[in-house]
């Protein structure tokens, strides 16, 4: 990954507590989502909105700490600070999938494919979480029919 922002105008931030709020892009910039790993001069983790070191929502690569430095508002989404204090400790992360359900292809159904083969982001998230990929290199190479 390069340390660039990615995403589209379909991105948003939201809060549920103490009240429901949905924050859509303001049009000020296109800093929708930032993801970085193993950098020495850039922050490592996942950021949504704002700019480097001043994200609307930031989750560090260790998944133990984060921040919401949107004072007075996040430039990308117009959201306020999403936590009771700018810096916070993460107790629990809940991940939601929204969109078209995944439909396995024939290789998936036969156990010949992995999501890690198709989605580099999944590999990065495992690395950020410090999870080893135990099956790396264990599958037989695909045979090519002549």
Q: Which of the four pLDDT bands, split at 50, 70 and 90, describes residue 121?
A: confident
Q: Which helix (H) or strand (E) holds 55?
A: strand 54-60
Query: Is the pTM of the predicted complex or chain greater than 0.75?
Result: no
Helices then strands, each counted (H, E), the chain:
3, 8
Could you read off the pLDDT of 1-33 as tens digits, one per residue?
456 899 999 999 988 888 889 999 999 999 999
Burial label for 47, CB within 10 Å (0-12, 13-18, 19+), is buried
Could you read off the pLDDT of 55-81 as tens digits, one per residue?
999 999 987 899 999 889 999 999 999
In our burial notation (b when 16+ CB lie closer than 10 A, e otherwise), range 68-78 reads bbbeebbbbbb
Question: How high is the pLDDT of residue 34?
Answer: 94
């Amino acid at each position: 990954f390069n340390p660039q922002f990615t995403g589209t105008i379909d991105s948003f931030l939201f809060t549920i507590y103490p009240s429901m709020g949905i924050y859509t892009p303001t049009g000020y910039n296109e800093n929708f989502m930032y993801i970085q790993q193993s950098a020495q001069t850039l922050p490592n983790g996942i950021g949504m909105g704002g700019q480097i070191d001043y994200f609307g929502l930031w989750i560090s690569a260790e998944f133990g700490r984060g921040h919401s430095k949107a004072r007075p508002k996040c430039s990308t989404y117009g959201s306020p600070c999403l936590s009771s204090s700018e810096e916070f400790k993460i107790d629990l992360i809940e991940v939601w999938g929204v969109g078209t359900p995944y439909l396995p292809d024939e290789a998936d159904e036969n156990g010949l494919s992995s999501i890690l083969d198709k989605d580099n982001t999944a590999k990065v998230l495992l690395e950020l979480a410090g999870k080893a990929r135990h099956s790396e290199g264990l599958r037989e190479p695909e045979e090519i029919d002549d």
